[in-house]
């Protein structure tokens, strides 16, 4: 089945530790995105990548880093510099030239 | 309007009722308007992507309209069913790169 996978579903970390969230897609999509959801707020764009080895900051990139070494993979690292890392993180992808995005199931990160 | 706004925030209806939600978005530099359905424990699922003023789209009992000049879109559900219970997200596209600005969503609960 084609789709987007995010792992793990739940992730717990201690404050001060970096943590990497996985996002993999087998849809052959060129573009990939990372969003964050907080209670009572809409999804906010963290980073996006239109092609391999290229990515751009979204609206709330501070404290996060990404890489795009493979077309299928777009991991997100939440660094210790992110002041409020506890949130629900969604990954999405789309074909080049299409605005429709397909979402993964998300990872809920809790940092204590 | 600087952000994407959705109303109401939540809605409780009886099975068989018809209902509608509103999405307001910046009308300047409009590119595309997206509607997603997000069921609990699942990935957001694209319902419609609309780009033209006056556009109307339909999928089964769900339909949507778009007014780009005044910056609003309506989502209609005819004869609501319990399986329609979900959060409905609206997002405005920022350009051809697919960056989306999301509203906070409307949470629909349909009682049998």
Would the CB atoms of A99 and B44 count as touching at under 8 Å?
no
Say what percent of chain B tops pLDDT 90. 81
pLDDT value, residue A99: 75
Query: Is the minimum CB–CB distance between B32 and chain A shorter than 8 Å?
Result: yes
A105–B43 C-beta distance less than 8 A:
yes
| CB within 8 Å: A98 and B96 | no
Q: What is the pLDDT of residue A100?
A: 86
Radius of gyration of chain B (CA): 13
pLDDT in tens, B74-112: 999 999 999 999 999 999 987 666 678 999 999 999 999
Residue B106 main-chain phi, psi, to 5 deg: -120, 120
- Rounding to the nearest 10 degrees, give the CA dihedral for residues B50, B62, B39, B12: 120
The residues of chain A scoring below 70 in pLDDT are 1-2
- Specify the pLDDT at position B28: 84
Whole-angstrom CA distances from A46 to A68, B82, B108 are 14, 34, 27
Q: Which residues of chain A approach chain B closer than 8 Å at the C-beta?
A: 4, 31, 33, 35, 40-45, 48, 50, 58, 90, 94, 97-106
Beta-bridge mates of residue A34? A47, A91
pLDDT score, position B2? 63
Kindly list the distances between the CA atom of residue B16 and the CA atoms of B8, B19, B20, B83, B99, in Å, as whole numbers in the listed order. Answer: 19, 10, 13, 12, 36
Rounded mean pLDDT, B19-45: 92
* Beta carbons of B49 and A100 less than 8 Å apart: yes
CA B35 to chain A, closest CA, distance in angstroms equals 10
């Amino acid at each position: 089945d084609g789709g987007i996978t995010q792992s793990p579903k739940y992730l717990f970390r201690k404050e001060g530790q970096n943590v990497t969230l996985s996002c993999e897609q087998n849809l052959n999509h060129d573009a990939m995105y990372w969003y964050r959801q907080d209670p009572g707020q809409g999804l906010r764009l963290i980073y996006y990548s239109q092609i391999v080895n290229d990515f751009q900051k979204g609206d709330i990139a501070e404290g996060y880093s990404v890489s795009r070494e493979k077309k299928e993979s777009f991991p997100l690292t939440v660094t210790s510099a992110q002041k409020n890392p506890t949130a629900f993180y969604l990954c999405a992808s789309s074909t080049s030239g299409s605005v429709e995005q397909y979402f993964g199931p998300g990872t809920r990160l809790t940092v204590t | 309007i600087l952000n994407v706004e959705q109303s109401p925030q939540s809605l409780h209806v009886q099975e068989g009722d018809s209902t509608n939600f509103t999405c307001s978005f910046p009308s300047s530099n409009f590119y595309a308007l997206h509607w997603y359905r997000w069921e609990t424990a699942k990935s957001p699922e694209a319902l419609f992507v609309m780009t033209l003023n006056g556009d109307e789209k339909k999928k089964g009992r769900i339909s949507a309209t778009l007014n780009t000049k005044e910056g609003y879109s309506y989502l209609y559900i005819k004869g609501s069913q319990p399986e329609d219970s979900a959060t409905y997200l609206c997002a405005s596209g920022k350009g051809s790169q697919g960056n989306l600005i999301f509203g906070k969503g409307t949470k629909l609960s349909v009682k049998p």
